[in-house]
Amino acid sequence: MEQVSEFALLEQVVIKLAAIVQIGAEAKEPELKEDMDENDLMVMSWIQDDRAGAATKLAGRKSGAVTGAAVVEGLEDHHIEGISCGALKTLAAGIVEALQGPYLNTLDMSDDLKVNVACHLVFSCEGSYNWVHANVQAQHVVEFVNNCEAKYNPNPFHNFAHAVDVAYTVFRFFNLTDAAQYLSETSMFWLLIAAVGHDLGHLGVNNQYLIECSHELAIKYNDRSPLENMHCSTLFQVTSDPEANVFARMEKDVYKEARKGIIGAILHTDITLHGEMVKELGMLYQMNSEQFDNLDPGTPVTETHANVSLVLNALLHCADVNNPMKPWDICRRVAHLCLDEYFAQGDIEKKEGMPVQMLNDRDKVNRPNSQLGFIEFLILPFVELMVNTFPQLDSMATFLGENMGRWSDTWKEETAPGEEAVAKLAARVAKVQTRCKAVTMEFRDIDPGHHK
């Protein structure tokens, strides 16, 4: 019996080791294939060559509201569970309800509404609710969010609407995964703050452009994630204002931990760190798959500080690149805005006689095909691991599979390809959709109501 038990244990260890080796192999950059078309090669090159960051100083500062009709009008002052602050506004019931689902659209909100939504997210997150209401002044949050809104540029994609969407997505991740199991109240609070400020001052161009043109940010930060470093610095410049200091009541040691965590999380939104994050997340899941499959992430995550940091970084990064995992109507709109921003950079590169980066040339990039490659090569492996680790997030995989099919249909409608090209793409789409389905709770036979 002892020998049988030892052999069974050894077999499990071998399976784990094989899975970890596979993770290391899959975490490498995607391999070139003979049947890849020009757009696939562009996406591959973009993934491999995006080594840093972004931006010329764009002329002009934001003045006035970002375009988009207000979803709610006539917001009234109210008290949030004993916190009196005339600057905090009541959200319409429909908006509050939408915050619990995947369909909230920040693109069509007025600036005032986006500010109110961001404040609401900070104060109503279930896992950090008690701590926030005891230790954070409402007026500080309002000033912080307003000051952040003023520092976002009106870029097509990297703007305040995106920041609020990322905060909303982190908020949903917390609620869906019962984050109080594996995160402290303070870390949940500061990750929401990081989400609001994660792209502060974005210039609408990427790190690689900043480095190529020796922009002052690239020089200041030694070509290392110049944009993300600037976002961090700007966030803490905002909180240096006593009226916007959301950390004012934090104990010194707690604040030091929060500052370190915010800097780490925002720096890890740099796409060049994506592959390493996928590898580390895969190892965390494989070493603790039983607990994660049983919706019991507390022990494996809290076992080490490194694991906590990894999960916090992954949650923010996942929220930052969540567009392909959204309902189709939002996914399509945001993807076009993102490509508009890339193309605007491409126009600058052409004008300045610089090499035009991959995905930036509006005359060469096919929009739907670029999204197909982006999903297949970059997003799918990450979503698989996020949903494996937190099965309650499986709607991301469901939407991702659906959107892969939608982009395929759009590509066929716009390009009228030949039968062979259609057949090849159909096989790629089917493979992605199969992998997306395989990580859902239904396919894995996980009871969503089960908790250890």
Active site residues: 158
Record the tokens describing residue 251, joined without a space: 């104990």
Which candidate, 392, 370, 396, places its Cα nearest to that of 381?
396
d(CA 230, CA 55): 11
Which candidate, 156, 152, 155, 171, places its Cα nearest to that of 101?
171
CB 206 within 8 A of CB 50: yes
The three-state (H, E, C) secondary structure of 61-107, written as one string: CCCCCCCCCCCCCCCCEEEECCEEEEEEECCCHHHHHHCCCCCCCCC
d(CA 244, CA 153): 20
Record the tokens describing residue 413, joined without a space: 């409608």
**Helix-, strand-, coil-residue percentages of the chain, each rounded to 5:** 65, 5, 30
Beta-carbon contacts of 270 under 8 Å, excluding residues fewer than 6 positions away, are 53, 207, 225, 227, 228
Beta-carbon contacts of 373 under 8 Å, excluding residues fewer than 6 positions away, are 39, 40, 42, 43, 44
**CA of residue 230 relative to chain centroid, distance:** 18
SS3 184: coil
Record the tokens describing residue 195, joined without a space: 């989400």
d(CA 369, CA 37): 10
Which candidate, 312, 300, 299, 304, places its Cα nearest to that of 258?
312
> How many beta carbons lie within 10 A of that of residue 217, not counting itself?
24
Please name the amino acid found at residue 440.
T
Mark out the alpha helices in 303-446 (DSSP H runs).
Answer: 305-320, 328-351, 367-374, 380-389, 395-415, 419-438, 441-444
CB 400 within 8 A of CB 380: yes
Instruction: For 310, list phi and psi in degrees, rounded to 5.
Output: -60, -45
From residue 252, give the alpha-carbon distance in Å to each of 134, 194, 239, 258.
Answer: 17, 18, 15, 10
Beta-carbon contacts of 354 under 8 Å, excluding residues fewer than 6 positions away, are 209, 212, 213, 348
